[in-house]
C-alpha cells in the first residue's frame, strides 16, 4: 500500500457567511496515487472548480486538510504555495495555459529560466516528440490547432516533473476524436511517467480511459466503481 501523492481529507469549503453562505464542497475525501489517472466528473456548478483550486493551493478550505506527499499544504505561506505549484504541480487548463508571445520551445525555456537552470534541450525535444509536436516547436500558440495546444500544455505540465498534474476540462474546446486523443495521451503519461493525474471534466465519454472515477454533485464527492481492472 503506497501513500497517496495527493490527498484531500474531509474538505469543506463555504463561501460567504450567515444566511447567504454557500457550501461548495461538503466533507470531500479524495486521494490519488502515482501512476493513476483519476477523473472527477460532474455538471457545471457542482464544485469541480472549487475542488481544483483547493487541491492547487489557490484557496484554503474552510475545514479539512490537503496533503501532498504526506505534507499538509493548508497552512503554508503564499510563497511556499507558489513554489509548490511551480515545482510539484503541473496544470492543464480549460483554455490554453500557454503564453501567447512565446513559441512552443520557448514555453519550456521560460520554465528553466525561472528555475534558474540551463535550458534542458534534450528533455524538451523528447517530450515534444512523445506528444507528436516536434514539427511545431517554433510555432506560436495561435498558430497551433486546439489539439496541438492542449498537447503542448500536457508537455508543459510534465516538464517540471511534478508529483501531480491537475487538468481542468482539458478537452472543453476540442471535438470528440481530439478529446479522446488528449485523454489517451494523459492516461499514457500517467502510466508511462508514473504521474498522478487528476482530470476534472463534465464529459462522460472520456471516463473509459480513466483508472478511477469520482463523481461530484452539489458539493458531494464520491468514488465510483473503477471502470478498469
Partner 1 sequence: MYLGLKEMWHEKLRYGLLSGVLLLIALVVFMLSGLANGLSVGNRQAVDQWRAKTVYLNKNANQSLAASQLKISDQTTVSGTHAPLANLSGTLRTTTNKLKTSASAFGTSRDSFIMPKVIKGHRINGKDQLLISAGLLDKGYHLGQKVRIGTTTHSVKIVGTYQTSTYSIAPTVYTDTSTLNRLKGSPITSGKDQPINAIVAKNSQFKSSDHDNLERLSITTFVSSLPGYSAEQLTLNTMIYFLFVMALAVIGIFMFVLTLQKSALFGVLKVQGIGTRHIIGALLSQSIAMALIGIGLGLAITIGLAQIMPAGLPFVIDWNAFGIYSVALLAAAVIGALLSWRTVANIDPAVAIG
Tell me the per-residue interface mask from 125 to 144 with partner 1, x by CB under 8 A, - otherwise: ---------------x----
**Which CB atom, from 16 or from 177, has the smaller least distance to partner 1?**
16
Among 12, 53, 74, 76, binds partner 1 (CB under 8 A): 53
- Burial class of 110 by CB neighbour count within 10 A (0 to 12, 13 to 18, 19+): middle
Tell me the torsion sign for CA atoms 37, 38, 41, 46.
Answer: negative
Stretch that binds partner 1, among 11-19, 76-84, 130-138, 184-192 (CB under 8 A): 76-84
Q: Is 21 helix (H, G, I), strand (E, B) or coil?
A: coil
**Which CB atom, from 12 or from 53, has the smaller least distance to partner 1?**
53
- Residue 22 near partner 1 by CB under 8 A: no
Among 25, 32, 41, 52, binds partner 1 (CB under 8 A): 52
Q: In whole angstroms, what separates CA 16 from the centre of its chain? A: 27
HSE of 106, CA atoms in CB hemisphere, 13 A:
10
Angle at 42 between CA 226 and CA 52, to 5 degrees: 95
**Which CB atom, from 75 or from 116, has the smaller least distance to partner 1?**
116
* Helices 121-130 and 146-159, axial angle in degrees (round to 10): 140
**Which CB atom, from 10 or from 82, has the smaller least distance to partner 1?**
82
Under rule CB under 8 A, which residues in 146-175 are in contact with partner 1?
A: 168
Q: In whole angstroms, how close is the CB of 60 to partner 1 at the nearest point?
A: 11
Cell of 214: 469520482
Ramachandran angles phi, psi of 30, nearest 5°: -155, 140
**Residue of 18, 6, 141 whose CA lies nearest to 84:** 6
Tell me the per-residue interface mask from 88 to 107 with partner 1, x by CB under 8 A, - otherwise: -x-x-xx--x-xxxx---x-
Among 22, 83, 132, 222, binds partner 1 (CB under 8 A): 83
Terminal alpha carbon distance of the chain: 17
- Residue 202 near partner 1 by CB under 8 A: no
Q: In whole angstroms, how close is the CB of 169 to partner 1 at the nearest point?
A: 8
Q: In whole angstroms, how close is the CB of 202 to partner 1 at the nearest point?
A: 11
User: How many other CB atoms sit within 10 Å of the CB of residue 214?
Assistant: 22
- Residue 113 near partner 1 by CB under 8 A: yes
Please name the residues in contact with 122: beta carbons below 8 A apart, sequence gap of 6 or more. none
Residues at the contact surface with partner 1, assessed by CB under 8 A: 48-50, 52-53, 56, 58-59, 79, 82-87, 89, 91, 93-94, 97, 99-102, 106, 109-110, 113-114, 140, 168
Amino acid at each position: 500500500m503506497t501513500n497517496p501523492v495527493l490527498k484531500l481529507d474531509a474538505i469543506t469549503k463555504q463561501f460567504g457567511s450567515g444566511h447567504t453562505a454557500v457550501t461548495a464542497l461538503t466533507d470531500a475525501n479524495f486521494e490519488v496515487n502515482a501512476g493513476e489517472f483519476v477523473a472527477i466528473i460532474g455538471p457545471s456548478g457542482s464544485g469541480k472548480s472549487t475542488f481544483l483550486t483547493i487541491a492547487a493551493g489557490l484557496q484554503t478550505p474552510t475545514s479539512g486538510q490537503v496533503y501532498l506527499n504526506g505534507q499538509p499544504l493548508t497552512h503554508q505561506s503564499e510563497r511556499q504555495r507558489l513554489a509548490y505549484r511551480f515545482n510539484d504541480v503541473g496544470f492543464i487548463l480549460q483554455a490554453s495555459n500557454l503564453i501567447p508571445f512565446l513559441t512552443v520551445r520557448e514555453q519550456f525555456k521560460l520554465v528553466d529560466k525561472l528555475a534558474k537552470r540551463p535550458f534542458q534541450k534534450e528533455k524538451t525535444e523528447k517530450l515534444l516528440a512523445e506528444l507528436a509536436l516536434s514539427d511545431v516547436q517554433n510555432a506560436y500558440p495561435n498558430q497551433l490547432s486546439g489539439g496541438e495546444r492542449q498537447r503542448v500544455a500536457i508537455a508543459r505540465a510534465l516538464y517540471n516533473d511534478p508529483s501531480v498534474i491537475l487538468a481542468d476540462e482539458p478537452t472543453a474546446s476540442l471535438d470528440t476524436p481530439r478529446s479522446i486523443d488528449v485523454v489517451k495521451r494523459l492516461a499514457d503519461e500517467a502510466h508511462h511517467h508514473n504521474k498522478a493525474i487528476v482530470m476534472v471534466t463534465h464529459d462522460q465519454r472520456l471516463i473509459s480511459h480513466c483508472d478511477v472515477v469520482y463523481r461530484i454533485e452539489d458539493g458531494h464527492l464520491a468514488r465510483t466503481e473503477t471502470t478498469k481492472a
